[in-house]
Amino acid sequence: MGKAMEEYREVLETMVEATVKTIKSMMEQTKKLVERVEEGQVVEVRNTQRGVGGGEKAKVLRGMRMNYTQAVRRAKHEDIVLRTKAKMKQVIINNGKGGEGWKELSEKELVEKAKIARELMGIQGMDGPKVEFMSARKLKNGGVLYELNSTEVAEWLSKRDVCKAFLKKYGAEAVVKDRVYNVFVEFVPTSLGNMPAERLEMVEEVNGLHSGELTIARWAWAPQAWHANQRVAHLILACTMEVGANEVIKHGLVMEGKRVMACKLDQEPRQCLKCQRLGWGHIASKCK
């Protein structure tokens, strides 16, 4: 019960954070528009349209206008892009002992701890990029979320041999949480079986992917909820590499002799189609 409440609280915090960012973005856009009006830029645009035919003028003005829905969608899209870029520069370190010895440390001390571990890596850290730990945030599960100076640094630190050397100096049975990129694969033949995760090696081999590039596979809708003659269903895949996920989205995959297309999995909280509850881990097929 306590774990469920923590997950629900994290969902709410994420939703509130996204809403605040969206409102701030809309306020900034409104401020810029007001400044343009005060400077006479809008009037100037209208004046430049004189001499243009009625139909052409109306077409140009329609193209310039943005309604409320478009503004909200644009702000939401920009917010998602910013959050995605920010996540790509993050690394999460969990403690095998449940966070003992970390909870008493401040964020500043955690940043210094990571810097010292990086400096003590020796030869294994000499060929890497310039690593800067910008900030640290303590997580409720006892882990620490570090923000690094670039995406390249985060990817370098996530490499198996580099990560092992870093964690050895970091201590306290630390482990780096694996980063995955989820994709939504549409209309996959149900002949793949009720346990698609057991067929990942075959899927990797058929599609020329590296071994271990696909780590998780689960049906979007539980097989128990399929109708008797169902032939296709949607599948959720987790890729360990961003490049691999992008290739899957761009070219699709061959599964059970059929080429299927994929798209990026929406990470926003979803709404149960049965009870209308918002949040992760609760879907209509399992709703009571």
Looking up residue 215, the CATH number of its domain turns out to be: 3.30.70.330
Same structural domain for residues 218 and 259? Answer: yes
Q: Residue 32's pLDDT is what?
A: 75
| Residue 97 pLDDT | 62
Considering its fold, how many domains does the chain have in total?
A: 3
Compute the distance between CA of residue 80 and CA of residue 86 in angstroms, rounded to an integer: 10
Residue 57 forms part of a structural domain: yes
Confidence of residue 160 (pLDDT cuts 50, 70, 90): confident
| Selection from 81-90, 167-176, 265-274 with the highest mean pLDDT | 167-176
What pLDDT, on the 0 to 100 scale, is given for residue 240?
Answer: 80
- CA 191 to CA 176: how far, in whole Å? 35
239 close to 215: Cβ distance less than 8 angstroms: yes
Average pLDDT value over all residues in the chain: 76
Considering the domain architecture, whether residues 39 and 113 belong to the same structural domain is answered as no
Extract the runs of DSSP E, i.e. beta strands, from 243-285: 253-255, 258-260, 262-264
**pLDDT-derived band at 30, boundaries 50, 70, 90:** confident
Which residue pairs, CB below 8 angstroms and at least 24 apart, start in 51-59?
none
Question: What are the structure tokens assigned to 31, written together?
Answer: 């401020």
Q: Does a structural domain hold residue 287? A: no
- Which of 113 and 59 is assigned the larger pLDDT? 113
* 170, 190: one domain: no
Write the CB contacts of 155 (distance below 8 Å, at least 6 apart in sequence): none
Residue range(s) defining the domain that contains residue 209: 181-264
Domain boundary (129, 147, 176) is at 176
Q: Do the beta carbons of residue 181 and residue 239 sit within 8 Å?
A: yes
Residue 41 and residue 82 in one domain: yes
If asked whether residues 142 and 201 sit together in one domain, one would say: no
Together in a domain, 187 and 256: yes
Q: Are residues 69 and 16 in the same domain?
A: yes
Looking at the domain assignment, is residue 72 inside a domain?
A: yes
Together in a domain, 222 and 254: yes
Which domain-ending residue is among 145, 176, 207? 176
**Residue 7 pLDDT grade (very low, low, confident, very high; cuts 50, 70, 90):** low
Residue 1 has pLDDT above 70, yes or no: no
Q: Does a structural domain hold residue 16? A: yes
The model scores a pTM over 0.95: no
Domain for residue 157, yes or no?
yes
What is the percent of the chain where pLDDT is above 70?
Answer: 66
- Domain boundary (87, 116, 150) is at 87
Q: Does residue 274 fall inside a structural domain? A: no
